[in-house]
Chain A
Amino acid sequence: MLKQIEGSHAVAHVVAQCRPNVISAYPITPQTHIVEELAEIVGAGQLDAEFVNVESEFSAASVVLGASAAGARAYTATSSQGLLLMSEVIYCIAGMRLPIVMTCANRAISAPLSIWNDQQDSMAVRDAGWIQLHAEDNQEASDLHVQAFKIAERTFLPVMVCMDGFILTHAFEPVDIPEQKEVDDFLPTFKPRHIVDPRWPRGIGLFADPRFYMETRYILHRALEKSEETIKEVSSEFAKTFGRESGGFIKAYKLEEADVVVISMGSVVGTIKELIDQLEEEGKKVGLLQICSYRPFPRHEVYRALKDKMNIVVLEKCISLGRGGILASDVRWSFPRAEKKDRDISSFVAGLGGRNISIDDLRYMVEKVEKEPVEFEFLGLKEELIAEKDM
């Protein structure tokens, strides 16, 4: 049923429909509305779950770790500093193959303190062994949560659904919230694999000496690569059941004819599409490749989609300080070295700490790369605020 609803509330309702047994989270803007709404839902008796109000994100992640290891379907949500505080547990959850689902309401990282959106937080834990899915809008954010539980529980990998803070979490948009029965039919009850249970005494989280550790990493890496199939499968099962496309690996917009291709992820793709339409009217062929699954990275899909494209520009809301664009590195590495094509892959960082990314900024970016490739540039930088002596 289509409902005019805040993004956070839409996500909370859909998460509740997935019937998690244990929810644990700690408040941080812009994630708060999601867990507040879930607390309401549990409090009103509409969801039979344990809602554990913890004293930190570190414990929130540890509580869902323990709950999942004991066989519960477990959910948490956080942002920014909260995710960084969790990071030790985040790695552990993946290493222990616990199919936990988390929402990351993407937000910048201190210092300086900023509650506004970018994607530096989820990027900081991109190598932890979680599947990371990025939502374009609130419909997709909601849909991805239904898919996330199914993907997690099929692959025994944790899934982080990333949605841009404020831009999505606090935006009121019409969202189609499914019927409970539809979700129940789509998402089977959780069948855990290894649990702590006195009936079957076993150790979970043993330590591994150098004879064993490497293989655990190899297996986790391969499991993530293999989860590509599951992510696609679940996305198409979702389309079949709910009648709309959501998630998957990558998405393309006006890509086939494009001379310039913009690659990005998250809510900014909406503005990019708008620009593409404008430019089309002006006779320019620009296309979009949207990354839905950032981890596992859709390397082969990116290559297949961009094989014949010579002018590519990556736009991202994160940065590897001292190195440059992170998504850009992933994209550059997606092309086989043997191919030796003289392809231009430009890299732009934008929207850090909630800086608006206007359609004019994007137009400037596209026009610039039409002339010559850009190794790396901050888009929308205010030169007047920067002094040479500070650098």
Chain B
Amino acid sequence: MREQSKYLEGVDKKDLFASGHRACGGCGQALAARLVADAAGENTIACVATGCLEVFSGPYPDPSWRIPFLHSLFENASAVASGVDAAYKALKKGPVNIIAHGGDGSTADIGFQSISGMFERGHNVLYVCYDNEAYMNTGVQRSSFTPYGARTSTTPTGNTTRKKNMPMLAADHGIPYVATATVDDFRDLQLKIRKALTIEGPKYIHILAPCPLGWGHHGELTVEICRLAKDTGLFPVYEIIDGKVTNVRKIPVKVPVEEYLKPQGRFKHLFKKGVPTKEVDVIQEIANQNIERFNL
């Protein structure tokens, strides 16, 4: 008990994203959205893309958001947020935090053009991407964030491509702030949200948000899985400030990828009678490359 309260020290809990929403138990995205809303505070407008988040938190007549919430489509949250930003400038209102929220699909696939436009035009918008590595809302189909080897409903024998590197693509737009985070470190995640909101211009925060339903792990393992994603090197946590990678989280004790893969149903087929197939080596190689690249 004491340990948990220490864990929550310095974590904002304002309940701006109320409980009672319809997410699955252990949903990483629900946890992340709450942390984001509470860190950003009341003076915030949320522009949310269609996806699990919108569906579990935005039903009429009882949405979970206690801040203004604007949803229109799957692929336009960035452009809608740009419009809100333009309106605030034109009407000389504000300052206000404008946060666009999208899943990996709405961010990097169908909404890629829209987010690229928002970055390039320099809107004062923070974009938060909830990366659960597939199209969950429509039943766990592959997205361009689906990692190598993962089984989804449209990659039944395992995904053969590697994950698109969205944080780097965001940074290459020349935006002032990019960060990655996970839902096992509340403080770090909220710190990055608060920090981003002090910076003028477009910001991008990429949050690994495990999905028990799509990943096939027990809901109570969501936080642990994030830790494993970091400690294997599969999900590097860092910031990119004005184009420079910084504040890279060092791995305390390196963990083989097997430990990350094994609790997840989506990687089950990579082990034959408990013995890793050569696909696991490929994934280990991806982790090794990350470790080297970011000096994890």
Contacts and interface: CB of A to CB of B under 8 A. Distances in A.
B24 interface: no
Interface in B115-139: 116-117, 120-121
A208 B58 CA distance: 9
Given A54-B117, A58-B79, A89-B76, A205 B84 contact: no
Interface centre among A22, A49, A74, by most chain B C-beta atoms within 10 angstroms, is: A22
A63 B86 contact: yes
B113 A203 contact: no
Nearest to B114: A59
Interface stretch (A137-145, A149-157, A193-201, A366-374): A193-201
A66 B90 contact: no
A55 B84 contact: no
Interface string A42-70: 00000011101111101100111111111
B79 A201 contact: no
A71 interface: yes
Interface in B53-98: 54-55, 58-61, 63, 65-73, 75-76, 78-91, 93, 96
Contacts of A65: 72, 76, 80, 83
Contact of A202 (B68, B79, B121): B68
A106 interface: no
B39 interface: no
B66 A56 contact: no
B15 to A, nearest CB: 12
B175 interface: no
Interface string A8-36: 00000000000001101000000000000
A208 B59 CA distance: 6
A218 interface: no
B90 A22 contact: yes
Given A66-B87, A88-B73, A196 B117 contact: no
A54 B65 contact: no
A206 interface: yes
A209 interface: yes
A72 interface: yes
A68 B117 CA distance: 19
B153 interface: no
Nearest to A51: B86
A197 B68 contact: yes
Contacts of A89: 72-73, 76
Contacts of B223: none
Contact of B87 (A55, A70, A203): A70
Contacts of B45: 70, 196-198
Contacts of B155: none
A207 B90 contact: no
Contact of A49 (B66, B72, B83, B90): B90
Contacts of B86: 22, 24, 50, 52, 63, 66-67, 72
Contacts of B85: 66
A54 B54 contact: no
A255 interface: no
A361 to B, nearest CB: 42
A197 B84 CA distance: 10
B47 interface: yes
Contact of B59 (A49, A70, A204, A206): A206
A197 B45 CA distance: 7
Contact of A198 (B43, B73, B114, B117): B43
B72 A92 contact: yes
Among B42, B43, B83, B113, max chain A CB count under 10 A is at B83
A92 to B, nearest CB: 5
A123 interface: no
Nearest to B86: A50
- Looking at B44, B73, B96, B120, the one whose CB has the most chain A CB atoms below 10 A away is B73
Nearest to B117: A55
A96 interface: yes
Given A58-B75, A62-B83, 10 more contacts: A52-B82, A70-B84, A89-B73, A201-B67, A203-B58, A204-B69, A205-B72, A206-B59, A206-B69, A208-B59
- Complex A-B, nearest 8 residue pairs according to Cβ-Cβ distance, in ascending order: A66-B83, A62-B79, A70-B87, A72-B87, A55-B117, A66-B80, A196-B68, A21-B90
Interface of A: 21-22, 24, 48-50, 52-56, 58-59, 62-72, 74, 88-89, 92, 96, 196-198, 200-209, 212
28 contacts: A21-B90, A22-B87, A24-B83, A50-B89, A54-B82, A54-B117, A55-B113, A59-B117, A62-B72, A62-B83, A65-B76, A66-B47, A66-B81, A67-B84, A68-B87, A70-B45, A70-B84, A70-B88, A88-B73, A92-B72, A198-B96, A201-B42, A201-B65, A201-B68, A206-B61, A207-B59, A209-B59, A212-B60
